[in-house]
Chains A and B, each alone.
Chain A
Amino acid sequence: MIETMLAGAPRRALVALALLLSALVAAPLFVNAYALSVLILALYYAYTGQAWNMMIGFAGLLSLGEAMFVGLGAYASAGLFQKFGVPPVLGLFLSVAVSAAAGAAVGWLAFRFDINGVYFALLTIAFSEFTRILVDNWAYLGGSEGLFLHVSGLAGWDIVNLRGSPVMFYYVLLAMTSGMFLLCRYLLASRLGYYWRAIREDQDAARSLGVDVFACKMAAVTISSGAAGLAGVVYAFYYNNLFPETAFALSHSIDMLLGAVVGGVGTLFGPIFGALLLTPLGEALTAATDGLRLPGVKQFFWGVVVAAIVLARPTGLWPMIAGALGLDKVGLDKVDADEKSGR
């Protein structure tokens, strides 16, 4: 497995990755609390952006309901913790299972009846809204008044209960993002990854070559939504409160996919790059215009950025930057370009 992942990735890319990782590992030593909170947010979007990218970028399935998967994962582990005292370290299994099952259900419905493209996207929005309304009316989990977690001290490192300082959440998210990156790299080089890209390119042609299109798409939504469910655990325990209105909001889904769109859909590193670029920019803008009383300035900025990217660089920024740094064609960029895996 390790050989497969390293195949075709020359030293230059590995060195670049190692440098970035070291910088991120060391970052909490050098930044203040506010900057750390921005970094936490950036990593959260890097991780969820990668999960989203797995569907659209690898398999060509446009989901606009990521918030459903994250929200379900959040409510599952938060509910277990709050109602039964089950620590999130165990609760996360339920989170991943519930989110993956929700993804599989939506996928089954869609692919069984050959719903693709924007229709699939509409279906994911619809289910996300169903879920929001359902949880909104579920008094047991707090309903629209929200679910609150006991906060017992914001210091320390209680990983088992995910109770601790922001630094702990930062490292948890850094580990998750790194793990997700490796998983994506592995999947892309696997047979499933080839099938996904074949389906993305031309579903009919893939089928004519004997690709089990239904099974491969099911794998994509299930893995991706399960991964998003894991992000929900961190979401719940970092914020300590959950509201259906925000957790399942369409804007939450949009926030998660923006980084990937800006970085480059279908690329391996694009979602990380996009989130690390966009989140601090958005926060800086909010901070800079704080005194001006301009509500919605961040959303406006996102809109402009996305419009500019879609018009000028529909493939995202990362392929261009990877090319300039000489990191393209090495598995950091589109794995498609060449690079052979050790199959």
Chain B
Amino acid sequence: MMSALAFANPAILFGLIALPIIWWLLRLTPPRPKTEVFPPLRILASVLKREETPSKSPWWLTLLRMLLAAAVILAIADPVMNPRANSLNAGGPLVLVIDNGWATAADWERRVETADLLIDDAESADVPVSIAFTADASHEPVPGTAAAARDKLAAASPKPLVPDRARAAEAVSEAMNGTRPGTLVILSDGMAAAGDNEALSALAALSPTDMRLIEGDGHSAVALTDAVNNAGAMSVTATRLSTSAQQLLTVNALDTQGRALASGVLEFAAGAATATAEIASPFELRNDFARLNIEGLATAGSAHLLDDGFKRRRIALLAGESGSDFQPLLQPLYYISRALQPYADIIQPNTADLSVSIPQILEGNPSAIIMADIGRLPAETYAPLQQWISRGGTLIRFAGPRLAAAPADDPLVPVILRQGERALGGAMSWSEPQSLADFPSFGPFAGMPRAADITVTRQVLAEPTPALAERTWASLADGTPLITEKEVEAGRIVLFHTSAEATWSNLPLSGNFVEMLRRLVQLARAGGAASSGTGTDGAAVTLPPYRLLTADGILTTETGTARPIPIAAGETPVASFDHPPGLYGTEDGFTAVNLLAPKAVIAPFDAAAAGRPVVREGLAGGEAVSLRPALFAAAFALLVLDSLVVLFMNGVFSRIPRGPRPSRGAAAAAIAALAFGLVAFVPGQPLAQEMPPGSGAKPGDEQILERLDTTHLAYVVTGEADVDRLSEQGMEGLSQFLTYRTTLEPGAPVGLDISKDELSFYPIIYWPISANAPMPSQATISRIDAYMRNGGTVLFDTRDQYSALDGGGTTPNGERLQAILANIDIPPLEPTPSDHVLTRSFYLLTNFPGRYTGSPLWVEARQEARNTGAQLSSSGDGVTPLLITGNDFAGAWAIDTQGAPVMPTVPPDEMQREYAYRAGVNIMMYMLTGNYKADQVHVPALLERLGQ
């Protein structure tokens, strides 16, 4: 029997001898005081009387420090609380029956440790050791040396299987061969398995002197047993071993890459062994689920593999009549497609010709084909359809008048049908409309509640045959089958004996219809029919292992000793030694083999069957509690306490709030700095507001301010030197004229590079079009567009009045203008009407000559004028975004530095120049005043309204 408290490093305990020395050293503190001669000692004494002045540390401080030292020494000695009692019976060999099923993966290390300790004990007791692993395929439990047993133990690993204790017990019994074991230890995973009773009685028959059962706490024995795809969520069922406490677990759904797609919460109520989690996610996402995993558990049981059964199906719909789009509720396919749309991809042929559409559909290899009321198919389509079904296709048919009228030898119905339909509850019938009977316990509808609200008034009847009952998945209350099926090799034919629309029954209107169709579709193979060549023999398909699950719940490509698994239709494959859980098949299609059957429940291992007392123990290492961390923590706490005491005794705390001292200033500064730091990090503090004004200034601001100060006339720098010079002179001339005649005193003209310069400062931009100038880029044109959209005006001047007259066609300048405007959203234009504001915004003008005369000035067409034809002028709300002329305004306005005109007018008439200036003034006034001048037209009406 080991002591309750053991030390890993007992030698360190000699350090405790040093404690008196430490005590002596501690007594020396505090250090000797400074010695000061002080003549007015008597005055000081009168003050000092109140204060205790210990020359040595108080005893409790010394004690504190002694405890601190002792704690450190003890911590280094590493005491361990480990009362592991072990006494092997030396009267016979030690028999170890070790479970290495899936639930042991989580604490396998501790199990090995426990077994190791037992083997150690056996070695010291000098008894042979027999060891057997219950989940292994083969057992070699011949008693051997401890070293051999250790080797076996090291070689063993947890298997993703349910242990088979009976086989192991049998092997042990054989190996012992009558020898009476001294101690028999079952290192159990705590879960009951099939054959436990036999195993226990076999082991008890060995009549060991001592029989022990060692179990873990079983907290990791949680397994996913089933996953069902419901309408809105995937429902995951799990079972667990320890049912005592409430338990919350998270179930993650992973895709093939191992990425978590969705998760649900598995909530075990206290006392409940099973729980169900709902993983709510869109159906499309659920198609990508490849695996379910309990978070935090890494066992084969906590992983649940999903296969094609969960994939979204492709369903082809066929109807006997195309029907009318105007009466959708009478169409048979309407209800089916509405019911299936959430769960399946629906293919509808684009032609009503079945001889064309069926091969087309089969080419797409759908999971299922639904035929609503099709009596006869084109003869050549039967063979390919049958072939498709035998390869795994599912054909779902609905009855109807056509099917009822079809000949009885239809090979694509599951049962032999009588000719004609049966009407129930009609005017000429005695019988009542029939409701549904309970769903049979087999078939896809098993478990669905009875659909009491469904009544069937018409149906097609099946000829009674001996096999009819087992082919019936649903029947009416009077026992006539409503849904029958027939398996055709790998495929299946399902027939609804009533119609798919609401004329024969109200089944299509019911929610059960959706559920029934969904279940049927789930039955269909996701990949459609298997490719021709495999599985045509009709025997069970044998699938090779593709990916296998390890005991840790991880998929590996290593298939090891796994053998191909025969998959019988409609049978859930079971994991075994030869077929460990995993995916079987190929990359294109595989079947999941899971560890536990869908309804499996984990029950605790019951050793009562042994029929004799069994000592129960826990795993080793469970109670081994190292006191080291606690001692170090205590030492640290004492250190902190000691520091605080020393600081307190030195008056640190009382010093802080006391009178003025240099350190106080420093402390205050530090606190202030800290506070400032905190404030600086408080989010949202508008510290940036403190910036001095002007610091945000950017280069070019001065220029902008200057531009904003006074109005400037602007022109576009085309890149052609003489045009640009003339533009500048023209703007200068107009500026001078404006200054002279009006209150508008523009600043110096500005030449604009419209690809770069800011345009928004100028009310109007004069753009002399020159075919020789480079074409502005698209970005530049869009800048101009934006400028016009934002209220600016561009005055395009093609300067081609007379050249246009010459040719009679479009001039190069005009073409250039058209090219520029091609990408601009320009409004409809019209020549300036005689009542336009432009004609009277300053001067009264009838036309707008420039150097030339005769070209109209095009402006935006007024909406009102066009719509109403009203004579009373004035749209004017908003200024026209562009003006187009060919009269070469700038040429007429241009003056040189002396103020003399640069260019002669054509014809040479100084009055024309005067009118050109007046046109410029009117344009500028129009730009700056907008519709104000237009409003003047209303003045008489306004005055009249005011009663004058």
Partners in one complex: no
